[in-house]
Amino acid sequence: MEKQYRNLGFIFLLFIPLTFFGFYKTYFVLAPEFEGTVDIYTHVHAFTASLWITLLIVQPLLIRYKNFKLHRIFGKVSYVVFSALILSFLPQMVKQYSSGSFPINASLDVILLILFYVLAMRNKKNVTIHMRYMIAIALIFVGPTLGRIIYLTLDSVYLRFLELPYLLVNALLIGLIFWDKAAKRNYKPYLVALGCFMIYLAILYLFK
């Protein structure tokens, strides 16, 4: 792993408090009865997403502490966890579609997850490219997580602020591109990710 990215796993730890606050009112606070809108499919999605985020945190830490063997083992486990994660989206998408609204955010999230994961796995022997596509995957979770925090904090007021997380993701990618370019590192995966997230944001505007 490049020296400048050696603390990546520690940065990904931020997903733990963000996820807790983002899903506190709609999930965690309902424990243990989980009455209301929380069904078995929601539990499955929450569980698989938690496993995936755990892998995102653990994998760069294993590289940082030179435990390459365990990193490779978890890499193989990720095929199963990732497949389960993608499948866990489907019942929620069907439910949303059945209620009369198209699951645009979930659909775009699934498309980007699959795209970035395939690109990351195709370049798993090229650490610089592989790592950057895994970072792009992590950024997909910023939108729904921060979006929920904003929505719950503002009490459904000023819904235009829900686009802020996606603007933040684009800004982060632009910053990473300039940072890598200035240091003459490979920033092309970030360009691909930026293009995809810009299309994502444009589609959200079109579906308003």
Is 177 contained in some domain? yes
Between CA 112 and CA 163 the distance in angstroms is 17
Q: What residues make up the domain containing 51?
A: 6-206
**Does the model's pTM come out above 0.85?**
yes
Is 1 contained in some domain? no
Is 26 contained in some domain? yes
Q: Into how many domains does the chain fold?
A: 1
pLDDT reported for residue 2: 74
22-54 per-position pLDDT tens digit: 777 777 666 666 666 677 888 888 899 999 999
Sites in the chain below the pLDDT cut of 70:
1, 28-37, 151-162, 208
58-77 per-position pLDDT tens digit: 999 999 998 989 999 999 99
Residue whose pair of structure tokens reads 């650490």 in the numeric block = 127
Helix, strand or coil, per DSSP, at residue 121: helix
User: Which runs of consecutive H residues, i.e. helices, occur in the chain?
Assistant: 8-12, 15-22, 40-64, 68-98, 104-122, 127-140, 142-154, 164-182, 188-206
